[in-house]
Amino acid sequence: MTYFTSLNYTNYTLVTDWFVAGNEIADHTMTHVGTPPVEEINGNLIALNALAGIPLTSIKGFRAPYLNYSAETLQLLAASEFTYDSSSAASIPVTDSGTDAWWPYTLDNGFANDCLSVEGLCKGEPKLPGFWEIPMYAFFDDLGINGPHLMDPWLDAANGGSTVNDTATFNYMKSTFTAHYNGNRQPIGLYTHPIHLSTTYPGVNPPNSTIQMINAFLDWAQEQQNVWIVSNEQLLAWVQNPVPVSQLSSVDALKCPTPSVDASKKICNGMPQNEAGLLSHCDFSDFPFYTCYGCPEVEVSPGNPNPPQQVPQGQQARYRLPANCSTPFWDPIAGQCSCTSSTCAFTDNSRPIGPNGANLTGGGTGGGFGSSSGPSATPTYDPFNGNGGVGLGIPGAAILGGIVTVVVGGLIGGAVVGF
């Protein structure tokens, strides 16, 4: 999945852990402000690199807080060499002849979404060659164009009702998916603030029925032929260089490489078994967090995204991630890289899912909800590569204050199918 990450309420160690586990980390500004100035955008890049060890080259995407952005926002992103934005809404059903649920597209010839709501967009502007937009695809209930659901759809009352109904949400999510799948197969996404589904955050008690419903939907989606759960980065990698299913094993972005690091090695590298006991606790009053890369002397801010380190007595400053080492192999305490880009060892843990195998994302936990049948007992599948199929699961924890995007897509005969 993709985590659109801000400074506020973010534990930087979790950001590192989830990046090393194969998830995408994207920019959501530092202090969660809409229509952000450049220091909010670029300051967050610096902070994610300095405090979470995310390589700058790996931060490719952006989403505007509150989905408030302008033509200037897009221009700032392109100037800062982001690959894509994902702030625009696709709010017309794919079954409508005037749908705005475009496939991800470049701005070589201008913007195509939110034309009536954001000044200066569309009619061929702004032209930003090579910069991409991944629209946020809405779900639609029985009211059609008058019943869109975008962020955290499970918090909405469906069909003009006055109360939330998980069964109604489940049904319109399936029907919207089916419309994408049976049409032009545009991808579709699940967009959520993790706090709404967290079972571990103090004071938050999400309905178990809602969690079961989401798992049931994910299980159901993966039971459809040729459907994959991917991050925005993975989706865009295939869109930029599409190949048929028979050649998917050649797409590096769709593999799930796990760094081969000795579990007994003590190194603060984004792998929980290695970094236990090595984290620094930055106990700031506003937003405390843990990090492998040393606590700053003062709170991080857009004007000062990488303050000097506070170095505990008897210790030395920790080393930031260099450009020539991969995060899981970098030792920020010793300042050493255990491999180079040409010798790093990875194990491909791509696994079968849905009709391509039994290991469903929800693990069958939603199998009892609605009409979802859960995972099959004796599935059959065509191997994705030598080790099985490809799929990305959902972690059991959440980055507080972040926005998570899960894009479900399928690939068949050279065309991506929507989830």
What is the rounded distance in angstroms from the CA atom of residue 375 to the CA atom of residue 372? 9
pLDDT at 339: 82
Whether the per-residue pLDDT at 108 is higher than 70: the answer is yes
Sheet strands (E) in 210-291: 228-230, 257-259, 280-282, 289-291
Q: 198-256: per-residue pLDDT in tens? A: 888 888 888 889 999 998 998 888 888 888 888 999 999 999 999 887 787 778 888 88
- Full 3-state SS string of 104-127: CEEECCCCCCCCCCCCCCECCECC
Say yes or no to pLDDT of 411 above 90.
Answer: no
Amino acid at 116: L
Which residue type is seen at 68? N
Residues 6+ apart with CB under 8 A from 283: none
Peptide bond before residue 126 is cis, with ω within 30 degrees of 0: yes
The confidence score (pLDDT) of residue 321 equals: 94
β-partners of residue 344 are: none
Which pLDDT value is given to residue 412? 32
Provide the residue type at 221 as one letter. A
Return the closest-CA partner of residue 356 out of 379, 372, 332.
Answer: 379
Q: Given a cut of 50, is residue 154 above it in pLDDT?
A: yes
- pLDDT tens digits, one per residue of 287-332: 899 999 999 999 999 999 999 999 999 999 999 999 888 999 999 9
In the predicted structure, residue 407 carries a pLDDT above the cut 70: no
Helix, coil or strand: residue 234? helix
Mean pLDDT of the chain: 84
Q: What is the pLDDT of residue 182?
A: 93
Query: Pick the residue with more confidence: 101 or 195?
Result: 101
Question: What pLDDT score was predicted for residue 9?
Answer: 86
Q: How confident is the model at residue 403 (pLDDT cuts 50, 70, 90)?
A: low
Percentage of the chain lying above the pLDDT 90 cut: 64
Predicted TM-score (pTM) of this structure:
0.87
Tokens at 29, concatenated: 């500004």
Higher pLDDT, 339 or 77: 77
Dump the DSSP string for 343-390.
T--EEE-----GGG-S--TTTTTTTTSTT---S-SS-----SBTTB--
pLDDT tens for 8-45 read 889 999 999 999 999 999 999 999 999 999 999 999 99
CA–CA distances in Å: residue 341 to residues 57, 105, 154, 319, 338? 14, 31, 42, 19, 10
pLDDT of residue 238: 93
pLDDT digits (tens, 9 = 90+) for 213-227: 998 998 888 888 888
- Give 190's contacts (C-beta < 8 A, 6+ positions apart): 214, 404, 405, 406, 408
When pLDDT is averaged across residues 53-71 and rounded to a whole number, the result is 96
